[in-house]
Chains A and B, each alone.
Chain A
Amino acid sequence: MKNTKKRPENKNHYVERFTKGWAIYIKNPMGKAGLIILLVFMLMAIASFFVPLLGPVYDPMTGADPNITYSTGPSFQHWLGTDFIGRDLFVQLLEGAKVAFIVGLSCAFISVVLGTAIGMISGYAGGIIDTLLMRVADIFMVLPSLVILLILASLWELSIWVIIFIIAIMRWPSVSRIIRSQTLSLKSRPFIEASRVAGASNFRIIFKHIMPNVLPLAFLYMTFRVTSAILVEAALSFLGFGDPGQVSWGMMLQWVWSSGHMFQAPYWLLPPGICISLLTLSFYMLGRAMDEVLDPRLRKEGEGE
C-alpha cells in the first residue's frame, strides 16, 4: 500500500525533512556560528575572482607593487601589507580562501562519493567482497597521509589537482565504514526485501533505495573530510611540497617562514594561520550541528520527533 503512494510523496517528503532539519539546526549556536563564518569565507573566495581585476598590482602571484620592494605593514593600498617581493597580502589571503574551498570541497566530494559507493557495495554484498574492501579501507586509514604525500610530492611534480586526488584517496575509508554499517542496518528492512521480491536488480536497490537514506549521513561526513583535507594541503604547502604555481594559505606561511620574516611581520604570519583554523573550525561546527539534526539522541531533551 505504501509503495504505490510513494512517488508523489517523495518530493514533499524531502522538503519536509529538510525544513524540519533546518529548524533544529538553526537553533544550535554552534551551527549558527559555523554557518556565519563559512559565509564570510565564501565571500572572500568569490571576491578573489574579482579583486585582481582592479589592476595588475593585485595579482596574488605576480602583482608586485612598483613602489614597494620589501615587506611592509598594513596600509591604505594594501590592507594587510605586502610580502617580501611587494605583493599584496590581502589578495593572497583571498586567493587562499578560494584554494581552501576548492581543495576542501573537492577532496571531500571525491572521498565521500568513493566512500559511499564502496560502503554501500560492501555492506550490501557482504561476504568476501565486504571483507576485502574493508581490509583495504583499514590499510588506507592507518597510513599517515602527510608522510605519504611528502614522499610522492618529492618524487613527482604534483599539481594542485593531483594533490586533491591523493588526499581524497587516503580519506574515503572512514566514510565507507559509517555508510557500510548504515547499509547493513537498512539491508534487513522490509521495503528492501519487498523490492528484491519485486525483481529489482541489486544495482537498482543500492542506488535507488539505499542511497537516498544513506546520503544525509554521507553529507555530514563530508564536512569532516573537508577539515582534514584543508589541513593536509596547508601542511604540504608549508613544507614546500605544494604546487609552486598556486598561492594558498599554507604557501603564504611557507613564504613568511623561509623569507625570514617570521619574527618581524605579524601582519603576514597571523592572518593565514587564523584563517585556516577558523575555516576548519566552521566546517567542524557545521558538521557537529548537522550531527544533532540527524541523530536524535544527541539533541537536547524536549526536542525531537
Chain B
Amino acid sequence: MNSQKTLDRLLKNSLKRILFTGLVIIILCMILSCQKKNETNLLKIGLPQEPKSLNVWLATDGNSRKILSQIYQPLYTRDPKTLKIIPWLAREDPVFNKKKLAYTIKLRAAKWSDGSNFTSDDVVFNKKLFLDFKIPGYASKWKVIKKIDIIDDHTLVFYLKKPSAIFLSRVLTTPMVSKKEWEQIAARAKKTEKPLRSLQNHIIKKPLGTGPFMLAEYKKGAYVYMTKNPYFFGTGKKIGNYTLGPYIDSILFKIYGTSDVAILALKKGDIDMFWWEIQPGYIKDLKAQPDIKVFLNKKSALYYMGFNLRKPPFDDKILRQAIATLIDKEFIITRILQNYGSSMRSIIPSGNIFWHNPNVRQYGLGLNNEERFKTAYELLKNAGYTWDKEPVISEKGIVEGQGIHLPDGNPMENFVILTPPADYDPKRAFAGMMIQEWIRKMGMPAFARPMSFNSLLDRVKGKHDFDAFILGYGKLNLDPDYLRAFFYSKYDKPRGWNMSGYNNPGFDKLAKKQRSIIDEEERKKLIWKMQAILMEDIPYIPLYNPHILEAVSKKRFKGWVEEVNGIGNIWSLCMVKKNNGKEK
C-alpha cells in the first residue's frame, strides 16, 4: 500500500517535472530570439558551401575567391559596365614602349590593411614568388616578363620577353599580396621538401590586403566575418564611374549546406543576399515575394557538346555538322533553361561583344524541326551515308530513319554521349537525353549516359576514352585566349585542355600568332577568323549560355551593381548602402 502511494506521488512529481522543464525551455528560446537583434550596418551574405581555404595560393574554388577578392587586389581590373581594362591599384593606364617591349606603370598611393604602404617592392616580390614556387595559374602567365625595373616607390617598368596580347588582361589582373607578410613564410617554405605545398598549407589568421574589407574572424564550418578596411585606397574615389565606399561596416558570410535552406533564410531575412546562382524552379516563388529582388544577368559561359575527333566516325566533319543541325537549340532554351538563357552561336559568348564573331556559320538557325531534319538528311546523303531504312520527308511529315551506315558501308556503331548526373547539373543531363532522341530520329544509335563528374572528367580529359560528351565552363575569362587552350593541337595530351583532339595546322598558326598581337583591332581579326574556322569544323557544338539568376532581400540594403556573371562582385560590396525605405 505504501509503495503504491509513493509511486503515485512519484508519478505526479514526474508530470510536474515535465511541465516545469517544458516551461524552462520555452523561456530559454524566447531569450535566445531576443538576442538576435539586427546590427544595422552589417551585410549578411549566404554562401552555398564552405570556402576551401583562405590561403590565396590554394584557394581555387569560387567560394574562397569570393572572400579573398575583397582582400587582395590586382593592378588592373575590368570596368563593370564597359568591360574595358581600367587601373585599380595602378594609377593610370600603362605607357607602352613598343621598341623595348616595356610597360611603364604608375601605382596609387595605396596602403595595406595594417597601414603600411603598397610599393613597387611588393609587386616585384609577387613576381619572384610566382616564379620561384611555380604557382599554378600564376607562373605560366608571369613568365613572359623578362624583368621589372623599379624607378621609385610608385613607378615600375615591366620588360617582356616577347609581345603578349594577354599582358594587360591576364597578367596585370593578378591579385597582389604583401611582401611584408609573405617574405618570411616563403623563405621557410623554400627550405622544405615540397615548397609549393608548404606555401599552400600555410594558414594566415589576419591576412594583409589592399581591398575594401579585412578578415576579422573565420569560424570553420559556420561563418566568415569581415570588417571595413579603413585604409582602402578606393574609399571616396570615383573609379569605373562609381564613387566607392564601402558604405557598410562589416560583412557576415554565413555558410549554408544547401541552396534550399539558404533561400529560405533569404526569404526570412536571415541573410540579405545569396551569393550563388538560383535554379529557375525557385524564381516564380521569389518574384512573388515583396521583399525580394531578383537579378538576371548574362554570363560569360560556354555549355557545349564535344566530340572525340580521334575516333571515327567523329573525325568526319559532315557528321558533326549534321548532328549540330539536328539539335533543337530553341527547345533547350525554352524547356531546359526555362527561358533563362540564350543559345550560343560561337565558342565565344555573344555577351563578350568585342570578341564575339556574329558572322560564323550557323546550323539550323531559324529552321523548324522538319526543315532541320531535311537539311541534316541532305548533308549526310550527299556525303555518302546510307540507311537500312531511309528517312522519308514529305508533306505528310517525317518518317524516321533507321540503321545509318557510314560512307564506307559499315553500319555506325553505338555511341555514348557522356553527361554529368542530373543532380549535379540537370540542364546538361537533360540536354544529353534530348539530343539522344533527336539524333536517333536520323537512325544514329546514340545513348546519353549520365556519369559521376569525376569519372566523366577522367575519361574525357585524362584518358580520352569517349565518343561525345556535354560539358561546360561556367566562368570563361573575357579574354579570348582560351580558344587557343581548347583547340591548339599541342594541348591534345592527357589532362590537356584540347579534349576533342582537334588538329588543324591553319588554326594553330592563327592561335599562336594572336597571342603576341597587342593591337586589339588587329587581334580581333584573327580571333574572328579562328571562330569562323571552329564553327565550320565544329569540334565543339556550342549549345547554350545560361543566364545567372540571383536574389537579394530589399529590406535592409540596396545598390547592387550588375555585371557580367552577376551581382556578386567587388563593386556591389563597395556600393551597397542601407535602404532607408526609399527603394521600390
Contact = CB atoms under 8 A, between A and B. Distances in A.
19 contacts: A62-B433, A64-B335, A70-B281, A85-B336, A85-B426, A154-B454, A241-B452, A244-B429, A244-B451, A244-B452, A255-B423, A257-B258, A258-B258, A258-B423, A259-B423, A259-B426, A260-B260, A260-B278, A260-B279
A157 B455 contact: yes
Closest 6 CB pairs between A and B? Answer: A244-B450, A244-B421, A258-B423, A62-B433, A157-B455, A240-B423
Interface string A234-274: 00000011001100000000110111111110000000000
A61 B433 contact: yes
B437 interface: yes
Interface in B22-57: none
Contacts of B263: 260
Contacts of A254: 423
Nearest to B263: A260
A253 to B, nearest CB: 11
A260 B283 CA distance: 11
A259 B281 contact: yes
B450 A259 contact: no
Interface in A142-198: 153-154, 156-157
Nearest to B334: A69
A262 B281 contact: no
Tell me the dominant secondary structure on chain B's binding face.
helix
Contacts of A70: 280-281, 284, 338
B422 A257 contact: no
Nearest to B264: A263
Interface string B256-293: 00111001100000000000001111101100000000
Contacts of A255: 422-423
Given A71-B281, A255-B423, A262 B260 contact: yes
Interface string B65-82: 000000000000000000
Contacts of B455: 156-157
Interface string A194-238: 000000000000000000000000000000000000000000000
A154 B335 CA distance: 31
Nearest to A158: B452
B449 interface: yes
Contact of A157 (B260, B424, B437, B452): B452
A153 B455 CA distance: 11
Point out which of A154, A241, A254, A263 has the most chain B C-beta atoms below 10 A from its C-beta.
A263
B430 interface: yes
A140 interface: no
A175 to B, nearest CB: 32
Nearest to A71: B281
A1 to B, nearest CB: 61
Nearest to A256: B260
A101 interface: no
A84 B281 contact: yes
Contacts of A262: 260
Contacts of B433: 61-62
Interface in B451-472: 451-452, 454-455
Interface string B343-366: 000000000000000000000000
Nearest to A241: B452
Contacts of B335: 64, 69, 86
A71 B285 CA distance: 12
Point out which of B280, B335, B423, B437 has the most chain A C-beta atoms below 10 A from its C-beta.
B423
Contacts of A153: 452
Tell me the dominant secondary structure on chain A's binding face.
loop
Contacts of B260: 257, 260, 262-263
B422 A244 contact: yes
Contacts of B423: 240, 254-255, 258-259
Contacts of B450: 244-245
Given A244-B450, A260-B279, A261-B281, 17 more contacts: A62-B433, A62-B437, A69-B335, A70-B284, A85-B336, A85-B426, A240-B424, A241-B452, A244-B429, A245-B449, A254-B423, A257-B260, A260-B263, A260-B282, A263-B260, A263-B264, A264-B285
Point out which of A64, A70, A240, A260 has the most chain B C-beta atoms below 10 A from its C-beta.
A260
Contact of A69 (B258, B279, B338, B429): B338
Contacts of B434: 62, 64
Contacts of A69: 334-335, 338
B430 A85 contact: yes
Interface in A42-73: 61-62, 64, 69-71
Contacts of B282: 260
Contacts of B336: 85
Given A61-B433, A70-B280, A254-B423, A260 B259 contact: yes
A69 to B, nearest CB: 5
A261 B263 CA distance: 11
Point out which of A64, A258, A262 has the most chain B C-beta atoms below 10 A from its C-beta.
A258
Contacts of B280: 70
B172 to A, nearest CB: 39
Contacts of B451: 157, 244
Given A154-B454, A244-B450, A244-B451, A260 B281 contact: yes
A245 B429 CA distance: 10
Point out which of A69, A85, A156, A255 has the most chain B C-beta atoms below 10 A from its C-beta.
A85
Contacts of A244: 421-422, 429, 450-452
Nearest to A153: B452
A74 to B, nearest CB: 18
Nearest to B449: A245
Nearest to A246: B450
A154 B422 CA distance: 16
B421 A240 contact: yes
A255 B263 CA distance: 17
A2 B338 CA distance: 77
A244 B425 CA distance: 12
B279 A259 contact: yes
A85 B421 CA distance: 14
Interface string B223-260: 00000000000000000000000000000000000111
Contacts of B454: 154
B261 to A, nearest CB: 9
A128 B280 CA distance: 63
Nearest to A156: B455
Interface string B406-445: 0000000000000001111010011001100100000000
A71 to B, nearest CB: 6
A70 B285 CA distance: 12
Interface in B383-422: 421-422
A157 B452 CA distance: 7
Interface string A61-100: 1101000011100000000000011100000000000000
Given A70-B280, A260-B281, A84 B426 contact: yes
A257 B260 CA distance: 8
B61 to A, nearest CB: 18
A249 to B, nearest CB: 14
Interface string B284-316: 110000000000000000000000000000000
Point out which of B263, B422, B429 has the most chain A C-beta atoms below 10 A from its C-beta.
B422
Contacts of A157: 451-452, 455
A14 to B, nearest CB: 47
A244 B455 CA distance: 12
A186 to B, nearest CB: 47
B267 to A, nearest CB: 10
A264 B279 CA distance: 14
Contacts of A154: 452, 454
A240 B451 CA distance: 11
Contacts of B258: 257-258
A86 B434 CA distance: 13
Contacts of A258: 258, 423
Contacts of A61: 433
Nearest to A61: B433
A261 B474 CA distance: 23
A244 B264 CA distance: 28
